[in-house]
Structure 1
Amino acid sequence: MLKIYHNTRCKKSREGLQVLEESGKDFEVREYLKDTLSEKEIADLLQKLNMAPIELVRTEEKIWKEDYRDRDLSDKELIRVMAENPKLIQRPIVETKHKAVIGRPASNIEELIG
């Protein structure tokens, strides 16, 4: 089953949700700012995304710039920071059983769900 990690206030996330709705496929919506991800869930997503933790961080967010930008954080620490501050996680993320993509641009989602 498909799953979208969604932020209702984000235009790109809403566009990703629309792609899934128009696909006709079954999917689950997880509003990750309300239903936050555990460190293990983030680590699992990173594996499916095939990316390093820093690549998943929204480095333009105020909290990143003020609290973390100048720190030398390990991958494990970055995962913890994202778990504690879900606003820092790139969005939207669409996940299948074996793979995930960041839905920017939305064509990434279209390629994933084929």
Structure 2
Amino acid sequence: MQATIYHNPRCSKSRAALALLTQAGADVTIVEYLKTPPTRDELAALLTRADLTPREALRTGETEAKPLKTADDATILDAMAEHPILIERPIVETAKGVVLARPPERVHDIL
């Protein structure tokens, strides 16, 4: 099974999701999204497949998120594309779907 993880190696949840994918025998493509961020359109497509709004995938604790408290989804998506640190992680994609793997065990839903 093919899987793609939008990964931050410094994040324990992201590392745990990657370990679960590896243990399940998935052929994992790792995208370090802080180094190689998805485009706005790619991110929008991922969130649509995950049935998430940009607000639901926003890391609200980040400094850059403060001005987005009352922003609409399009503005949040623009900000996430410009500042990928705002994207909650990890996002995992397989042929069966896309999940925000928080908790990491959510990857089992798409394996």
Structure 1 length as normaliser, TM-score? Answer: 0.89
C-alpha displacement at 1:30, in angstroms? 0.3
Counterpart of 1:61, as a letter, is E
Question: 2:81: which partner in 1?
Answer: 83
1:74 is aligned, of 69, 72, 75, to: 72
Structure 1, unaligned stretches of length 5 or more? Answer: none
Matches of 2:77 and 2:20 in 1, distance apart? 28
What RMSD, in angstroms, separates the aligned Cα atoms of the two structures?
Answer: 1.3
1:3 alignment counterpart? 4
* 4+ long deviations beyond 2 Å: none
Paired with 2:57 and 2:78, the residues of 1 have a C-alpha distance of: 12
User: Which position in structure 2 is the counterpart of 1:96?
Assistant: 94
Cα distance in 1 for residues equivalent to 2:99 and 2:25: 19
Measure, in 1, the Cα distance between the counterparts of 2:5 and 2:50: 13
Percentage identity across aligned positions? 39
C-alpha deviations, 1:20-65, integer Å up to 9, x for none?
Answer: 1111121210000000111101110111110111101011112212
Q: Secondary structure at the match of 2:26?
A: coil
Number of aligned residues: 110
* 1:15 paired to 2:16: yes
Which string of whole-angstrom CA distances, capped at 9 and with x for unpartnered residues, describes residues 2-36 of structure 1? 10000011111011111111111212100000001
Letter in 2 for 1:18: A
* 1:112 shift after superposition: 1.5
- Rounded Cα–Cα distance in structure 1 between residues aligned with 2:17 and 2:35: 18
**Is 1:94–1:102's contact at 8 Å kept on the other side of the alignment?**
yes
8 Å CA contact retained: 1:48, 1:98: no
Query: In structure 1, what is the Cα distance between the partners aligned to 2:41 and 2:24?
Result: 29
